[in-house]
Structure 1
Amino acid sequence: MTNYIVRLLLCGLIIMIVPNYLKGINVDGYTTAIIVALVMSILNTFVRPILSLISLPITFLTLGLFSLVISVCIVYLCDYLVDGFKVEGFIPPLILSFIISIANGAVGMFQKDK
């Protein structure tokens, strides 16, 4: 549980910092960033596997590149569900999802699995 909270707070911090450097992403405040991190976590847990299964043929044909489109769709779904979080374009949410996944991977290397 502690590992999840650390990742959630890190993701919220990233979601709060990234809009300062990327046009196309707007976050109202830190509370909104934490809510976005929580919603994105839920969407990645439950919705992403369904989208990946449905789009398996096109993902296979594009040699896995369609998974990038799924990542952007998850960010846009989060935009739709959370007030105070706005996303425009294709590249900014793609970069945001890359940064979040890299940060989660880095944190995962330092956390112990129980």
Structure 2
Amino acid sequence: MGFLIRLLVNALALYLVSRTYAGVSFAPGADVGSILIAALVLGIVNALIRPVLLLLSLPVNLLTLGLFTLVVNGIVLWLVASVTALNVAGFGAAIVGAIILAIISWILDAGVSALGLDGGQR
């Protein structure tokens, strides 16, 4: 149940980012299925590729006091856009979109936790 809720939260966050920031959008004619697939791919990339990227960029991340994580998050969003119906205007737009996505996901996660829909997971 937690996986399904997390998938729906990611899908809603991606949709809200595409509606609030012009640099990130979905392909014309993209339906709910396309948004769910993009959210699923985002979850897979976050689980498998992002930790490797963070480990490889650890020296740079230490030098920038963690700010390079924003670049890694932009790379993750850019990768998701390259294999799904998500469109990103460029690498700078991917970084800004990743920041907005993180903020929206944080707010949605807080709402899900406040409603108790996460099954008590914190």
Q: Tell me what 2:50 maps to.
A: 48
Identify if the C-alpha distance between structure 1 residues 21 and 42 changes in structure 2 by more than 3 Å, giving closer, same or farther: same
> What is the Cα deviation at residue 22 of structure 1?
1.2
Which runs of 4 or more aligned residues in structure 1 lie more than 6 Å from their structure 2 counterparts after TM superposition?
A: none
> What is the Cα deviation at residue 106 of structure 1?
4.4
Report the more deviating stretch, 36-45 or 18-27.
Answer: 18-27
Q: Kindly report the root-mean-square deviation, in angstroms, between the aligned alpha carbons of the 2 structures.
A: 1.7
* Partner residue of 2:62 out of 50, 60, 64: 60
> What is the Cα deviation at residue 33 of structure 1?
0.9
Percent of aligned pairs sharing the same letter: 31
* Partner residue of 2:97 out of 73, 78, 92: 92
Is the 1:23–1:92 Cα contact (8 Å) retained in structure 2? no
Counterpart mapping for 1:1-114 below 5 A: 2-27=1-26, 28-82=30-84, 84-88=85-89, 89=93, 90-108=95-113, 110=116, 111=118, 112-113=120-121
The two structures have a TM-score, normalised by structure 1, of 0.85
Report the more deviating stretch, 91-100 or 52-61.
Answer: 91-100
Is the 1:12–1:33 Cα contact (8 Å) retained in structure 2? yes
Is the 1:11–1:100 Cα contact (8 Å) retained in structure 2? yes
Unaligned runs of 5+ in 2: none
Unaligned runs of 5+ in 1: none
Report the more deviating stretch, 40-49 or 95-104.
Answer: 95-104
CA offsets, 1:4-53, max 9 Å, x none?
A: 10110121122223322211111222111111110000001010110010
